Amino acid sequence: MRRHLLTVWNPAYAADAFEAHVRLLLDWDARRATEKASFDDVYVWWGKVRSSNRLAPMPHLAEILALDAQVEGDADTDGETHLYLTDYRSLYVADLLGVDADDPRLHDSAHVPAYYTRASLSCDCWFQVADIRALVHDDLEGVQSELARLCNTRYHDKPVSLYGGMTELPLLVSRPDGRQFFSEAEGRLLTDGALWARFDAERGAVGAMEAVLREDHFGATAWNALDATARRFLAGAEFTLREHRRDPAADLSAVVVGYGKVLEVQLNLLLRDALRGAPDTARRVKLEQRTGLLPDDLPLSLRQLGFALGGERDLIEHLCSTLADGGWLTTTCAAVVDQFAEQARNPAAHGESVPRDVVLRWRNRLLGVGSESVLVRLALAGRTR
């Protein structure tokens, strides 16, 4: 199984250690946008700082450096190698380009945050990072839940735990669900091709809202069943609505765009998981003027998702026989997706102002204000029979 890495950043080395890496990454991205740098120049080095209290060599350094060979093969296999980054309250995933024992400050200092040199830090190894994507922000319980999706390969493949499990960092971990975070297709669909680091920086922190939604609306089971990216889009949309709901002049169209992304993320992941090993007859769907084969042609747009779920007979039969709630998914949910896309999401995505009453009606239906929550049921719909 593919291996990844998980490490902790220590604010004792720099008050803004994480932000320093993001700022440098975004600076190189800005240079690329103005053609002062190439696409290959957009990266930053993240160092595994060697503690002055540790006298023995890192016991698994050879295994960590061996991941560089896996990374080199990613371009040929469409694979991804991740570096998960946490301070226990927040969790991010980075797109790993390479692992090196050589100090890049000696030959590539422009891509290394200055605090490493300023604080005279020594590092066991360095990770070359092309992008950084937020998974959980300022939510300890959310971090614990998300880390449990990873397995510690040096500890009998047990789920990663914050309590007692964060030893011999970075951890070598696997991800049984095979979730990818940096595909070009998903980036085009969700961020219009921007770096995730830039997209997250422009959206701001929504960790407190994630906790409110988990505790007051979804409950832990349904909330944890949602993908981390879907949760962040949902919290961002709900934060925007609550901030501007009392302002009659505010345009709430961005709220339905956010809710639309929640549906896109969750439905695409549901289809990816449900169609593993499915017969070609169930995987074949009509996409615009051609026929595609799922999950190879994922992600689908919201309109394509509604059509496939409600109109592809063999796909419907497979989902109904595989998923515990496949009947609801291919009838009620498919109709909701179609109606939401036509009435709210598509107009908002094309710059039209969506009437306030339409925004609130759809938000209430999806979140479950005064009715059953479409999103709670969708979160749980991926369970198999």
Question: So what's the pLDDT on residue 94?
Answer: 98
Question: Has residue 369 got a pLDDT over 80?
Answer: yes
Q: How far apart are CA 144 and CA 370, in angstroms?
A: 31
- In the three-class reduction of DSSP (H, G, I as helix; E, B as strand; rest coil), residue 29 is classed as helix
What are the structural domain ranges in the chain? 3-174, 206-380
Residue 219: φ, ψ to 5°: 85, 155
What average pLDDT does range 8-32 have in this prediction?
Answer: 91
Vertex 338 angle, CA 337 and 340, to 5°: 65
Which segments of 39-170 are extended strands (E)? 44-49, 82-86, 91-100, 123-136, 151-152, 158-159
Contacts by 185-192, CB closer than 8 A, 24 or more apart: 185/298, 185/299, 186/268, 186/299, 189/264, 189/299, 189/301, 190/229, 190/233, 190/261, 190/264, 190/265
Q: How far apart are CA 254 and CA 263, in angstroms?
A: 15
- Average pLDDT of the residues of the chain: 93
For a pLDDT cut of 90, what percent of the chain falls above it?
80
Nearest of 39, 81, 24 to residue 193 by alpha carbon: 39
What average pLDDT does range 176-191 have in this prediction?
Answer: 94
Question: So what's the pLDDT on residue 202?
Answer: 84
Question: So what's the pLDDT on residue 126?
Answer: 98
Among 11-20, 171-180, 344-353, the range scoring the smallest mean pLDDT is 11-20
Q: Take residue 296 and report the two structure tokens written for it.
A: 């190879």
Sheet with 123-136, strands from edge to edge, namely 44-49, 123-136, 91-100, 82-86, 3-8, 171-174, 151-152, 158-159
Question: So what's the pLDDT on residue 298?
Answer: 92
Per-residue pLDDT of 267-325, as tens digits, reads 999 999 999 889 999 999 988 888 989 999 999 999 999 999 998 899 999 999 999 99
- In the three-class reduction of DSSP (H, G, I as helix; E, B as strand; rest coil), residue 267 is classed as helix
Confidence of residue 54 (pLDDT cuts 50, 70, 90): confident
Q: What's at 141, amino acid-wise? A: E
Contact 128, 96 (CB under 8 A): yes
Question: So what's the pLDDT on residue 12?
Answer: 75
Question: Has residue 3 got a pLDDT over 90?
Answer: yes
Per-residue pLDDT of 345-361, as tens digits, reads 999 988 899 999 999 99
What average pLDDT does range 233-260 have in this prediction?
Answer: 94
